[in-house]
Structure 1
Amino acid sequence: MNIEQLQQQLIEYASSIGVDKIGFTTASPFNELKNRLKRQQELGYQSGFEESDIDKRTEPIRLLDNAESIIAIALAYPSKMEDAPSGKKGARRGIFARASWGIDYHVAVRERLQLIEVWLQEKVPNVQLKSMVDTGELVDRAVAERAGIGWSGKNCSIITPEFGSYVYLGEMITNIPFAPDTPIENECGDCTLCLDVCPTGALVNPGQLNAQRCVAFLTQTKDYLPDEFRAKIGNRIYGCDTCQTVCPKNKGKMNWIHDEFKPDPEIAKPLLQPLLNMSNKEFKATFGYVSGSWRGKKPIQRNAIIALAHFKEQSAVPDLIDIMKKDERPVMRGTAAWAIGKIGGPLAEDALLNALEREKDEAVIHEIHKGMRLLKAETKA
């Protein structure tokens, strides 16, 4: 079988296993990307979650000897939820970003790549392959862009004509010299909606993201959330979709294609207060299958406290007082103290004063004082 036939058969096979788009590119270095990544590093715009070695991120040959080409795949995920529950006073809800609806996409994309690996191994003796999804060395978006999956939008997402930017990406380096696809022309035009509405100004320029300010990144951190961002995250407990939901190219893209990505509304938009006292075991049993659980329960619980403060949910105050008294984690005690001050009410002042008397952690004491200042400001108003 010649390579052209193999490539066409692979395209057909990929479609049969639920791959929504497949593209091919060479394994040549991503030189322009290397310069951009160095600049991002210099500016301190990286999240810290990515591979630190820029050469590995931009030179496929460093990851696979005899690398000739890269296969890029994309799976579409839903942009709309059926039967989405509404939060209300006394039963407020948080929201997971769409990329965390349904089963963990790392698992779903990796399964497809593994099937393609087996298929190629059966067809090509001594084939060499290296697959990755999100946490690998290569930059998924750069590979997808060069392989013609979509163009790189001003919101730093790959935008496909068929599914908008609601796609998961994965890739496979191989020693098979597949014919490369042609990149898609950028269709963002003069539109700057994503930059205009970014809650924290993280999109500093078209296609340039300061990850340290991105809500999606901030919701995954485990320390105190900086003050300037607490009012910005609203009821987001994992991720942020703002720069996608405003994109005109996403209008009308429902993408109800894969059952495995369709969300359980009670998981994707969970009640906030039950999250506060959830054990590790309960958290894993409830949320362990979604990608938003990868950092554990601490960021989710911290974000739930901030969301309850955002809603000024009075019914949460007793739970927050309990956290301030009993939680062994300083970040939770401190965030709860701040939230109590933000929410206010008849129990708040005594609770904060009592906490101040017994608290030993300096950072928590600092948050208690913040809460007391918020409370005084609210009383004066």
Structure 2
Amino acid sequence: MKVLLIIHRQQARGQELVASQLGEEFLSRGMEVRVVSLYPGDFSLPFSGTISCLNLHSSISVWNLQKWFEFSRWVADFDPDIIQANGGDTLKFLALTSFLLPQKAKRIFNNGGVMGYYLKSTFQKRLNAFFLSRMNGLVSVSDYSRSDLDKLFNPTVPHQVIPVSIIPPDQQETDNVEFTWIHIGGFTPEKNHKGLIAIFSEAVKQGIEGNLILVGKGPLKPEIERQVDRLNLEKRVRFAGALIDPWSMISNRSVLLLPSAIEGMPAVLGEALCLGVPSICYTIGGVEQLLKEFPSLIGIAPGQSKSFVTTMLHLQKNWDFHLGKSMQDKKRAQQFFSISRAADDFLNFYKKL
């Protein structure tokens, strides 16, 4: 089987990482896989095969007819059985180019987010309904993501939930016993960095130990840097940038903070679970599904920043108890988020189309 995976950009974000890891697993099984990136990027994704780039420069260029024909030539050269769009503008681009592609290739949209969060106008919804109508199959990362998409568009093509998969990251043993509060995610509105800094600022006032490390990059980073300066947190908040292996730099007493506005099923939460790292998160989107699966996760009602702070202080005071619960979930998490499991699920879905 030949599979062509389309990603938004070569960057350290969930959809791109998951897609490249899935492609690498397919390669290890003897399949032919190629990755096409719509926009240029400089992050080294974990995929040893060919990554081509269409070099689009804005969302408007997704409508560039010349790029459609360029992509269609790549498809004709590779002759894939499956073309899978993975987040960002990939659904839009695959739908628009679908009229130029061979009917043999089944078109899949891998829905890793919550579309209803982004689509506000009737025009946006109708346009995306058209994009989805050009797909042969849909995959959603969580029950919540599937329910959201089904409610908005009522699609008639096969639609399956395949939970996010990860390759458990390396975590180096360190002698650092100081607390590390860590957040991993792009600086975009849905990740709620502004709310996170406000939470951490209040926790500092109440005597929280340790520093906050922010891993990632994105358009809102300058605004968050200014917020950190205004709150005099320069010595307590570190901007680490986009890292290939962020977990290798943290201390042995680390906690993931995830007060997101919306999430499909965050891969970073899966990574924390697979490492036995305690996590505190808002109970939004697909996070609720994970809370049912893993007792060690600590969920806070969305927007309840005071409760978030109180929970941070309680977790720090009762560290051994919470670490023990997280370690109990570790083995089950590694099975739940297994890349091998996900590859099997995708292949079985492909065969049904």
Per the normalisation by structure 1, the TM-score is 0.23
Structure having the higher strand fraction is 2
Larger gyration radius, structure 1 or structure 2: 1
RCO greater where, 1 or 2, for CA within 8 Å and sep 6 or more?
1
Per the normalisation by structure 2, the TM-score is 0.24
